[in-house]
Amino acid sequence: MGKNDTERWDFLKRKVRSRLEDYRQIEDEELYSVIDGEIEELGKAEFFPLPERLELRERLFDSFRRLGILQEMMDRKDITEIMVNGKDRIFVEQNGRLGRWDGCFESEEQLEDT
């Protein structure tokens, strides 16, 4: 993600969180509705393509409901283990081989939230 993408992500996450008192207590459909509304509002102010909007939608949902950046690996059948040793020290066992994953949490706070 570039600087603008990261700023957009942070902005949207703050906006969604501010609209929800307790996102753990609402249904998935309501969370998606809030996320979609915020993405639509931001789209009125600045252009970003549909594929990027869809990616942001899923990433935001994953950050509130699932395991954030780890969800991508959780959904893969070839990854059998995930080891998180810090915000930027994530290792996976993939097809029987242990290796470092090139992704990272944006902050220690994001790691702790997950």
pLDDT tens, residue by residue, 63-75: 888 787 888 888 8
> What's the burial of 114, exposed, middle or buried (CB within 10 Å: 0-12/13-18/19+)?
middle
The pTM of this model reads 0.66
Cross-strand partners of 83: 91
Distance (Å, whole) CA 39 – CA 87 = 27
At 7, the pLDDT band (50, 70, 90 cuts) reads confident
